[in-house]
Chains A and B, each alone.
Chain A
């Protein structure tokens, strides 16, 4: 594990150095990354110029949901987001090269073309979250749960990225299907889930448990009633869900790698 992490950092550092070759472009990418998610929140702010609550939640509360999901998603994307190129790596034969190197495959795939500039997205979501936090009525247990939430949410998104990218072991052109759940999951959890039909909320609790990214813990932190009336301990369940997802993801990844037979043409 320690060795894997060291290798990850080494490969990443290599890519960071390489990206400095085009400084003008690099800075534009940093600013662009900030803006591309920044406009999403400006969009939410514009919605609130026309309404005073969305699904029963105020702008500050939506900002807490948006920021929580955004920070976790951006960190997960920074760390393992490159895995969505798995199909391309397979097609170009890059994956075959990686398989014969003495570094764990998952590390190589995720650290490939590592882009530190993606930190700007973390910063953007972090700013929104920080602003939202100034409106929260803090207690020690709420602080604790917020920290737990951010860690668990990052792990959940990381697991979802990896698990869904594995579909590309079977159909290499399907990267976009995963987008619907990764980027789509980030978008859905940026809004109060009361906006969606209760079937969606149930699916996001029991099928693909993205509601644990921020919805349940945020209900506790914001002091809101659970619209589905689930017991209060569900609001503390995110770390357990994250651990379970990691276990499932490891299984899926191993199955994918084991049955991988290269492209053949």
Chain B
């Protein structure tokens, strides 16, 4: 119980920390809107040529673009969030103090990232979606069940993304500088999440593979739920795949953290 309220406290403080930078948030929303408009116009041109590409209609495609802009910061597709703080603390050696505390590192950083994501959802997620809805004709979830499924999917997306970013940050334990792994992770995340191009357009087996990878959780999975592409058992299947990935990856984090704990050498030691 005490642990639970502690994590809530960490999350709320993290939320407040990110909400401090109003100018940066507004600037970011502006950029999301510009990219949303560019990508929406490109996809409109694509769907004009091929009106049912990938099983989407043009309205689905445009909605997908704006959902993509909304998810960029919410699930931290390019990286960042609390694992970045961890990477910095590994590099400086401060992480030794984290290991020493009577609170689990993974839970601490996860709580902080949930707080961050909540702030980004209501700012960088909501605002571009509203702008997109004003500028374009979007599709909305059909009924409360779809809304619930969508938000569960976003939460699972955050868990998967957090675990991957946490693993990347921990690479600093071994190679001292995490920038390289970080960039490779961003490239994979941006492409295989479906941010570059919707995964439904990927040809053949490549598309099947992309949709089975953990990054599909970031955007393609929640977007398909929002658009009502998956219903009934298929809906549960999408959520189950996301849940499996988040459990596996978080278990991987815990395992690697244990290995790292035995490896940490504080400066001078």
| Chain A interface (Cβ < 8 Å from any Cβ of B) | 22, 24-29, 31-33, 35-36, 38-40, 42-43, 46-47, 49-55, 171-177, 179-181, 184, 187-188, 191, 195-197, 200
Contacts and interface: CB of A to CB of B under 8 A. Distances in A.
Contacts of B49: 50-54
B4 interface: no
B167 to A, nearest CB: 14
A249 B186 CA distance: 32
30 contacts: A22-B175, A22-B177, A25-B176, A25-B177, A25-B178, A25-B180, A27-B180, A31-B184, A32-B180, A36-B186, A39-B190, A39-B191, A40-B196, A43-B191, A46-B197, A51-B46, A51-B49, A51-B50, A52-B49, A54-B45, A173-B22, A174-B23, A174-B27, A176-B28, A176-B30, A176-B31, A184-B31, A184-B35, A188-B38, A191-B42
* A33, A39, A42: most-surrounded residue (chain B CB, <10 A): A39
Contacts of A184: 31, 34-35, 38
Given A25-B179, A54-B46, A176-B27, A43 B196 contact: yes
Contacts of B53: 50-51
Nearest to A22: B177
Interface string B191-221: 1000011000111000000000000000000
Interface residues of B, number: 38
Given A43-B191, A180-B35, A173 B24 contact: yes
B128 to A, nearest CB: 12
B27 A173 contact: yes
A52 B53 CA distance: 12
Given A46-B197, A46-B202, A179-B31, A195 B183 contact: no
Contacts of A196: 38, 41
Contacts of A22: 175-177, 179-180
Contacts of B179: 22, 25, 28-29
B184 A32 contact: yes
B54 interface: yes
B42 A195 contact: yes
B184 A28 contact: yes
A65 B235 CA distance: 40
A63 to B, nearest CB: 15
Interface in B26-66: 27-28, 30-31, 34-35, 38, 41-42, 45-46, 49-50, 53-54
A170 to B, nearest CB: 10
A65 B179 CA distance: 30
